[in-house]
Chain A
Amino acid sequence: MTIQAIVEELGLEALVAADLAREVRGGYCSDLLSDVLAHAKAGDLWITHQRHLNVVAVAKLRELSGVICVRGLAPGPDVISRAADEKINLLLTSEDAFEVAGRLHRLLHP
């Protein structure tokens, strides 16, 4: 399933729509950067409360398909511009991590 389809199905706000045609392999929920580096897989959508610049670096390093910021915790303009530079899809939802992870899981594993 593409990011575009997930954005529409889950009603996400695309803060950075770098590559909405990108296929999503799965999801990973974590607020620990090194944990994501160690265990997320390329193509995963990363669900997190973190919203600082290093989030973009980690998403890039692990070749994630995008980042979902939860509970309306929008990153600042510096993060948005870095994500755009690095071509990382950056998405925002007002839902909490549990809700959005559950809905994403149902979409990817119907």
Chain B
Amino acid sequence: MSPPIPPIHKRIFLVAAGDLEGAGSVSTAVRRTLRELGVEPDVVKRAGIVCFEGEMNMVLFSQGGRIILIVREDRVELLFSDRGPGIANIDLARQPGYSTAPDWARELGFGSGLGIPNMEQNSDRFEIHSRVGEGTVIRSTILRGVHDDTGDRGGARA
């Protein structure tokens, strides 16, 4: 396997637990950064959605964590890592409609059980690792220059 192409940009964002007011700010900053770097609009859009969902999960479920944005010539990577309860059953969490969100979050329109599926659907590669009682790590990779510019990936969006 050839070594990955070195990053042209790397940035670390901190995410505070329970900060619903500020939630979405990392996603906004990531989109702005990617646009400034001249990343393709379709990739910016997908990275924005992946980041928003990951950020929301951290805000709602974890005790805080960080998001690392890595931009390379051929891909954008988003690494999420949090301290928190972890995910007991990752297979269930990847299924659309499964959620452990509390009622107050559901009333605000969260907890539809589409967060992780949305992250996966907008990624070209998606890895999730979790340890109960410790936290969760997610790596999303979005490849550049392989999709059209409509933001919708054909059959991927059922």
**Which positions in A face B, CB cutoff 8 Å?**
31-35, 37-39, 41-42, 48, 50, 52-58, 60-63, 78
Taking the complex as formed, is B66 at the interface, i.e. its CB lies under 8 A from any CB of chain A? no
Interface-facing stretch out of B1-9, B47-55, B67-75, B84-92: B47-55
Give, as a whole number of angstroms, the nearest-CB distance from B48 to chain A.
5
Asked whether A32 lies within 8 Å of B28 as measured between CB atoms, the reply is no
Question: Is A54's CB under 8 angstroms from B108's CB?
Answer: yes
Known: A37-B53, A37-B118, A63-B45. A50 touches B157 (CB 8 A): no
Judge whether B115 is part of the interface by a CB distance below 8 angstroms.
Answer: yes
CB within 8 A of A50: which of B21, B56, B108? Answer: B108
Determine whether B133 belongs to the interface, using a CB cutoff of 8 Å to chain A.
no
Which 8 pairs, one residue from A and one from B, show the smallest C-beta to C-beta distance? A34-B114, A57-B24, A32-B112, A33-B109, A50-B109, A34-B112, A61-B48, A31-B109
- B17 contacts the other chain (CB 8 A): no
Q: Does B18 contact A (CB under 8 A)?
A: no
| Docked complex: B54-84 residues within 8 A CB-CB of A | 56
Given contacts A52-B108, A61-B49, contact A35 B114 (CB under 8 A): yes
A79 to chain B, nearest CB (A): 11
Known: A34-B112, A42-B151. A57 touches B118 (CB 8 A): no
